[in-house]
Chains A and B, each alone.
Chain A
């Protein structure tokens, strides 16, 4: 297992007010779960990854940068348990989590 952590400067979109944390996906082969938690991070977003596949730091970082760029979230912790999901699946799961968290 590899444990990774990143923090990014957040965008303009906070989670919808009063939202509970949400979880999407499942830790099955080629899949992952994303727990998205609203948190006061002074506008930042944090990504915590536990993955079965080592040495893909750059790929994770690229997926998170792309996600931050597209959705512009702030003040959210995204905690991930990964079981060898490919980058597009990670992207879709992040979008799914953010869709739930940002819907008013």
Chain B
């Protein structure tokens, strides 16, 4: 058995190197260019030479791809001005150069507080750049499995991707648990109940809801295999496909709208709710197919 190479614990650079064909990654605006945040210094906060965003080109399974990766350990993978601009530039280049896909490795709590306005604008420009890239026929694949999960502006960006791949450890939600509790009250969501938090925002629930196209274990080679598996030309959007998406959202609300816990939803889906947390990704995928 090969030893586990944790995606959750790895740095953004290590993740990229494990996803792409060995030795093929060519970084754009590498750290030696020292494009650091123009804002953090005003707050007497430390900067990073890559502003926590790594962008570049490589091949995966021999196919040319563009990649961006967020470093969750630097300021929570937050979207600062430079950080966001690197992602925007990469996506715009992809719309021109038309690689087989853009692969985004998300690990972010959202917009960087110190760069609020610039970061928010950056997040919206990334969304537009994703749409432009997709309109050019290039699919955007998102990976979620880092320690910061994918929250706030980053979660909105991730949900614009064509395909999301994630692990149980990779959480996805617009607002973080503490934010929801603050706004809605502890009876609505108890942020200290970690089991509740994970079964709500964690990869398994997101997979069962169809948000993650693939659920993988916390092992970098498994992320790579899933990427290779979903690398395919983009299916263009149509009015019919948008109507279908809207109908499925409505039916989700009709079916599960009254539920207050993921376990009730899993039961309604025909799953053994008590067993879901112990299941491997393959077991869960098989059970979800059957139910």
Residues of A that sit less than 8 Å from B by CB = 1, 20-21, 23, 26-28, 31, 33, 35, 37, 50-52, 79, 81-83
Contact = CB atoms under 8 A, between A and B. Distances in A.
A26 B30 contact: no
Interface in B47-88: 47-50, 71, 73-75
Contact of B32 (A1, A26, A35, A52): A35
A79 B49 contact: yes
Interface of B: 11, 13, 30-32, 34, 41, 44-50, 71, 73-75
Contact of B31 (A23, A50, A52): A23
Contact of A81 (B11, B49, B73): B49
B49 A52 contact: no
B32 A27 contact: no
B227 to A, nearest CB: 24
Contacts, number: 49
Contacts of B34: 35, 79
A31 B50 CA distance: 16
B44 A81 contact: no
16 contacts: A1-B41, A20-B30, A23-B13, A23-B31, A26-B48, A26-B74, A27-B48, A27-B75, A28-B73, A35-B34, A35-B49, A51-B46, A52-B46, A79-B34, A81-B46, A81-B48
A35 B47 contact: no
Contacts of B44: 1, 52
B47 A26 contact: no
A33 B13 CA distance: 13
A21 B30 contact: yes
Most buried by A among B11, B46, B47, B50: B46
